[in-house]
Amino acid sequence: MKILLGKSSINIVVSIFYKRLRFHRRQALGLWNPTELERTVFPFLRCQMNNLEPAKRDNDKEVVVEKDESNMATSAAMDGVAAAALRSVLHRVNQAAECSGRGSQTIRVVAVSKTKPVSLISQVYDAGHRCFGENYVQEIVEKAPQLPEDIEWHFIGNLQSNKVKMLLTGVPNLAMVESVDDEKIANQLNRFVGSMGRKPLKVLVQVNTSGEESKSGVEPSECVELAKHVSLGCPNLEFCGLMTIGMLDYTSTPENFKTLANCRSEVCKALGIAEEQCELSMGMSGDFELAIEMGSTNVRIGSTIFGPREYPKKQS
């Protein structure tokens, strides 16, 4: 016990020291701004205090936590804490909403369950949560039939036209596709939804606000055109708003969020709709409070609820 406590304290001190070093370096480079502390050090400390992994961003460039026996032990331990982690996230969402003068009911939390087993998702479901997100078609079509039908599934990954049919038929309770980033995929979704005779599918247009080449999403300057296409040219889709993923290393997150908010203003003007009718999906484990303060209505949170993602170990 003593050794364990000693080890984790040393880890915390070393990590804080490392964070401070980075912080001073950024300050010296003039890259620091007041929200930096909230975005990096505070969430990090909170994670340490809650004994949870600090956020790792892995959507485009995967941070691979390989699944070996010790990771499986971590998984087993996570089984006990996912529901508690969810409660802590909902509490933080509530506080961020209050800080920005909004009710927490205006913010949807999508629990991103990518790579996580059905048993762990069930635990979060049993804790009362109903909205889950997945990135891969193969994975969502395997998991969804094993879980209750009243789950609202959000597809948040890069979607290829040849997987649309599989997604729509495999997940009848698909509530939203957050990652529509070109006309071709919008048309394909529109066609299949029409042929299935299901209610219109809610979609968000994904915008690449960080300019990273690896990221999916339309350029900010093209989002009005795509939003118009979905809204006016795809009767089986319901245009609900815009989605973005901030910069991989969080360095330009506020700018990315501001860009998305500007895109919303332009889209609303072009479509003649109120801003309340255009959702903003932005904010993940490491930046969701900032995102809410900047107007997000939909946060997508994975590792803070479920623990670090696990990938099968590569065969050598």
Ligand X SMILES: Cc1ncc(COP(=O)(O)O)c(C=O)c1O
Closest approach, Cβ 171 to ligand X, in A, equals 17
* Residue with smaller CB distance to ligand X, 129 or 268: 129
Structure tokens at 128: 């009362």
Q: Is 246 helix (H, G, I), strand (E, B) or coil?
A: coil
Closest approach, Cβ 206 to ligand X, in A, equals 8
Closest approach, Cβ 197 to ligand X, in A, equals 29
Structure tokens at 8: 């984790």
Indicate the burial class of 12 (C-beta count within 10 angstroms; 0-12, 13-18, 19 or more).
Answer: middle
In 234-302, where does DSSP find H-type helix? 253-271, 288-293
* Identity of the amino acid at 180: V
* Residue with smaller CB distance to ligand X, 47 or 268: 47
* Residue with smaller CB distance to ligand X, 178 or 268: 178
* Residue with smaller CB distance to ligand X, 295 or 302: 302
Question: Any idea what DSSP says for residue 206?
Answer: E
Report whether 295 contacts 265 (CB < 8 A).
Answer: no
* Identity of the amino acid at 291: A
* Residue with smaller CB distance to ligand X, 86 or 156: 156
* Residue with smaller CB distance to ligand X, 190 or 216: 216
Closest approach, Cβ 55 to ligand X, in A, equals 5
For 43, residues 6+ apart whose C-beta sits below 8 A from its C-beta are 54, 55, 285, 286, 287, 289
Closest approach, Cβ 169 to ligand X, in A, equals 23
Closest approach, Cβ 6 to ligand X, in A, equals 30
* Crossing angle of the two packed helices 223-233 and 253-271, in degrees rounded to 10: 40
Q: Is 27 helix (H, G, I), strand (E, B) or coil?
A: helix
Closest approach, Cβ 264 to ligand X, in A, equals 18
* Residue with smaller CB distance to ligand X, 209 or 285: 285
Closest approach, Cβ 209 to ligand X, in A, equals 13
Question: Residue numbers of the site for ligand X (CB under 6 A)?
Answer: 55, 57-59, 112, 114, 135, 156, 245, 284-286, 300-304
R_g of the chain computed on alpha carbons: 20
Strand partners, 234: none
Nearest-CA neighbor of 291 among 253, 234, 259?
Answer: 253
* Residue with smaller CB distance to ligand X, 35 or 236: 35
What phi and psi values does residue 305 have, to the nearest 5 degrees? -90, -50
Q: Is 53 helix (H, G, I), strand (E, B) or coil?
A: coil
- The Cα–Cα gap between 214 and 247 comes to 11
